[in-house]
Structure 1
């Protein structure tokens, strides 16, 4: 299996992984922040969906422009719609990810070697940016698992 195929498989798996992880979370618990400075499950899901669109636009720039400058994407929970139903939040992320996968799968392999200049990473490649999206997924899957573990430790039900 090629590195490209592994990255695509990992990206394709994340929405299902999120759904599986959250399958027993009570819907009312999704928007609850365990502390004022800690994101809720809903915040994480909103962030994943919003970031997916921003990241896809970034990847499209790398394909369409010569060595574009890519500003850092600053996460912000202020605009999150945490009150929306959990199933909708998961579906939003899954839909956004499906669009990204269509874009990535239609690219010729040579596109994955295109270069860009990232605000914090410096000179980088398209493939490295895709790897960054996989790493982003992994970090937020871990964050969701930690939120669920925190709920269990507090005696607040299954949730995972």
Structure 2
């Protein structure tokens, strides 16, 4: 496992780039099993080049990859197809168990991430309609921290998540390049734009999905009281 820090980052990049290298002999040995599109190799090569750029120093050409709205929309569109099966995989006996009194259960993380699209769509409308939009930080309510989401119907939440995500994706597909770059002042962030906002939405739900998986795989639960 690579070490943390810059040296570890370099090691991780090297390992990742070696992993995506396509070797001709491999294609000859397994032509059916290894199907690589002609577009995939240059994209992988360019991604590796981008990863090797010094932190904060990215060329204009490579910036286009980072700000690829098509990739971001695709990630948002397919996220429910990864997250919902993960939620369904959590055993019922631990689905609502909190790892500690102040940490959410898998159930609560699932309900929470299913509620995000409405808030982010409202932010989008605000940013595109105001000349100098100001975005307030979203804080978890005291009720949610106390366990209110445990009473929310999970099936209905996930159905709403699928519907609202499909609607959001259709909205994002219609944004112009200028709208993607529209900026706002965020209460907690140094800079903020429509693109950053929806990248934030994606990484936010992946964070909660990771927490769900952590809880599902946890092997040191305290025994339930008899």
Distance 1:101 1:90 in 2: 16
Cα 1:77/1:44, change in 2 over 3 Å: farther
1:30 to 95, 107, 111: 95
CA shift for structure 1 position 26: 3.5
Q: Secondary structure at the match of 1:128?
A: helix
Distance 2:107 2:88 in 1: 14
Using the size of structure 2 for normalisation, the TM-score is: 0.61
Higher deviation after alignment, 41-50 or 62-71: 41-50
Cα 1:137/1:85, change in 2 over 3 Å: same
2:154 to 75, 86, 96: 86
> Which ranges of structure 1 fall in alignment gaps of 5 or more residues?
none
* Structural mapping, 1:89-128, within 5 Å: 89-128=157-196
Does the aligned pair in 1 maintain the 2:133–2:185 contact within 8 Å? yes
CA deviations over 1:72-104 (Å, ceiling 9, x no partner):
111236244323443333222222222221221
1:14 to 79, 84, 91: 79
Using the size of structure 1 for normalisation, the TM-score is: 0.83
> Which ranges of structure 2 fall in alignment gaps of 5 or more residues?
1-42, 44-64
- Tell me if 1:48 matches 2:123: no
Distance 1:94 1:70 in 2: 25
- Structure of higher CA gyration radius: 2
CA deviations over 1:95-126 (Å, ceiling 9, x no partner):
22222212211222221011110001133221
Return the structure number with greater strand share: 1
RMSD of aligned residue pairs (Cα, Å) = 2.4
Does the aligned pair in 2 maintain the 1:43–1:77 contact within 8 Å? no
Does the aligned pair in 2 maintain the 1:63–1:114 contact within 8 Å? yes
